[in-house]
Amino acid sequence: MSDFDSDAGTCDEIQYVVTHGTVDLEMDVEGAPEECVQATFEIYRADDDSLVTTLQGELVGGKATARWEPDIQPEGEHRGLRVYYVVEVDIQKHRSQELEVYLDWVEIESVGEDDAALPDCTYALKVNGEQLRTGSTGSAGKFREVGLPPGDVEVEWTGPIAVVEWLDRTGPTRKAKLRKLKRVAFLWPSPEGEGEGGRRTFEADGTGSDREEKFHAHRQLVNLDADPAHPERGSRLRCRVAVHPQAEGKAGDEVYVKVEWPPADELSKRNDPVRELVGGAAQPWAQGDRCKGLKLALAADQGEVTFELELGLAGRDAVTISIGCNDECEDAKLVVTNWRQTWYQKTLAPDVAWPDIGTATGWFDTCGVSFDPDGDVVPFGAGPAAGSGVPGKQGLSLVPGIWFWNLDGDPPEGDVAIVGNHNWLHFSETVFLARQGDRGLHVVVCNRVCHGTDHTGAPYSQQVRAVEATALELTIPLPAPDGMTLFDRAVHDGDFPVRGCRWTGPTDASVPEELRNKSGVIPEAWIICQATGDQELTIYIPNPDDEPDLSEDEATPGRIIAAGGKLLIDADLCVASTGFAGWAFREQVALARDSGDDAQFNCLLTHEVGHCMHQAAAEHSPAEGWEAAFYCPPGLAFTDHPHGYQLKGHVGGHCNFGMTPADQGLATYDGLTQDRLGTCVMYGQLGDPARNVGFCEHCQKFTRAFDMKALR
């Protein structure tokens, strides 16, 4: 036996043998003549059947053996050799199975461009395409990996290393001329620490690993004004990059930038301002319509480079920024997502609580909006001067709760808080703007939304004309227009709601001549307004026989009635627009807390803030010129929202997503059962919260594209 050992095994009809110098070959031979003591071994390559060598062996006890020294040199091109051999004894020939003889080690060496050892270069070792190990060439620049299985071995250099050239890429010894690269990192944005922002982290030995997502994600508040003290604000993101560590940076060190946007269907259609890498262009390392690249260089030792991206104003648009010291751009990566920040001030009426609004904030999140409170709750406070006459700063803010009683249960006690067109400016100026300026939204939670005027300040009115009175007591039912209510005080100024009430007497012989062609005013004292339940106006005409102190003008209408004549009554009524669960105007949102539970409050809050964001995109027919500019951000059109509608029993632009096509086409949505209402939060009626999906996919297109600078 030799001083060398052999290990052998079989796999898939191939025998694998690790060689440490020689390989023992053997073959069972039966029936050979006893005088035969020699055997000839012919060794052939398995791939082309070419003869490798011929050996003379011996035959002992029916077994032929030989010892072979395969030509596998450390400096050679091959780590192993696959062969088979044929054994000839006398006239017999026997063929072996295939045999793969290999060295179970690979020596890996790294040298610099000066041919001197380059220490601590990291690599990954693959066998037959599968990564088996990782390692480093260590302080000597050379390391031997042992105990390897058979198969093709591949060495890949990892970390910040560039391969200048392979000096020996095959065989048992592998040697490469390398150049260590510097690494670059984001100075800003740097989500998790200065100089550490990016996708990968590197250890002292140069090995790199992927970080958690939080280390390579950044939100930019694109609707806020740019501020050097707050680089996370503004739609133009200014990135700062340096060699890491920065002290190793040298003038002229290169920085490669690659910026990639997702496919168009994942981005908003908003196109003003246009998304771009400022100064970027197609580069060999940044190809395709969605990619742009830049090549920059440090101007000074320990310096930094900067570049800018215009992110646009659309919420949840994202872009991936990759940087590197070479055109592979693998040192760091950031995924930047557009976000919009808006704050809201809470003003609460007495005895009104603010509920959990987690559902609403989640719906705003789908549009890339952070909806956060600003400061402490502000009390409702005193209302404006009732008769100020200034649009938006007049009328009543606290009214008797019984006005809104529907006759079910016990009548309410005390006052309720109302907000509407008539008094919104008072709250905006005295509670909101005076406190913190034009910042975000003012959310006023009252008991009822009730408008005494339209948005121009004109009082809502209703006319009563030529109602016949033939008795001293006259009750006039008031079939008020939808949502209009007569209270016993006019909401817009606090005065009596019946204005200009007059009577006109007969002109014919139905009454004595002295009572003909008479007319006059019906004073407030003769009138009672029924504000609860059925809307009625009751007029009591005094009987002159019972009230001798009446003036001639005051006594005349009673005398006409007593003489069998009839009066014609005309009146102008100041009414209020009611029936709203919420209302939004400019930066002000009013929510009626008495209109539903917490789940409905979340729907209502989202709906009204959605109106502040100019939702839902719905075109009048015929369209008016202002609508497209109001509802459609640049790049979008009404056709991008197939479910937007106007009117149909509701006020403003709304969304009928979730309704059947037949129901969508109805002239009015009044009277539909809950299961037939729209499911988008921008549907024009407060429905079952369990069916509400938040902003539907179409409303999201527009809420994402809305310029939130108006609501910052």
All residues at 6 or more sequence positions from 504 whose CB lies less than 8 Å from its CB, including other chains: 518, 519, 567, 568, 570
CA–CA separation, 154 and 164 (whole Å)? 17
- Is omega for the bond preceding 228 within 30 degrees of 0, making it cis? no
| % of the chain surpassing 70 pLDDT | 90
The amino acid that residue 659 corresponds to is M
Residues of the chain with pLDDT under 50: 1-12, 194-197, 623
CA–CA separation, 97 and 694 (whole Å)? 71
For the purposes of burial, counting CB atoms within 10 Å of the CB of 129, is it exposed (0-12), middle (13-18) or buried (19 or more)? exposed
φ/ψ of 248, rounded to 5, equals -90, -5
Write the DSSP string, 3-33: S---EEEEETTEEEEE-SS-EEEEEE--S--
CA distances, 647 to each of 391, 693, 698 (Å): 25, 22, 19
Residue of 180, 177, 179, 161 whose CA lies nearest to 169: 177
Structure-block tokens of residue 241: 């990059």
All residues at 6 or more sequence positions from 186 whose CB lies less than 8 Å from its CB, including other chains: 195, 197, 198, 239, 240, 241, 323, 332, 334
- Is omega for the bond preceding 622 within 30 degrees of 0, making it cis? yes
CA distances, 591 to each of 399, 465, 710 (Å): 16, 36, 20
Q: Identify the three-state secondary structure at position 403.
A: helix
Query: Is the Cβ–Cβ distance between 384 and 428 less than 8 Å?
Result: no
> For the chain, first and last CA: distance in Å?
89
Q: What is the pLDDT of residue 384?
A: 76
The amino acid that residue 562 corresponds to is A
CA–CA separation, 120 and 653 (whole Å)? 67
Query: Is the Cβ–Cβ distance between 486 and 535 less than 8 Å?
Result: yes
CA distances, 663 to each of 153, 618, 627, 641, 648 (Å): 69, 17, 25, 17, 11
Helix (H) or strand (E) holding 518: none
Structure-block tokens of residue 353: 């609580």
The CB-side HSE value for 54 (13 A sphere, CA atoms) comes to 3
All residues at 6 or more sequence positions from 232 whose CB lies less than 8 Å from its CB, including other chains: 189, 218, 219, 220, 221
Structure-block tokens of residue 441: 């939204």
Query: Is the Cβ–Cβ distance between 39 and 58 less than 8 Å?
Result: yes
Structure-block tokens of residue 319: 């872009």
pLDDT per position as a tens digit, 642-654: 999 998 988 889 9
All residues at 6 or more sequence positions from 501 whose CB lies less than 8 Å from its CB, including other chains: 521, 522, 527, 539, 569, 570, 571, 572
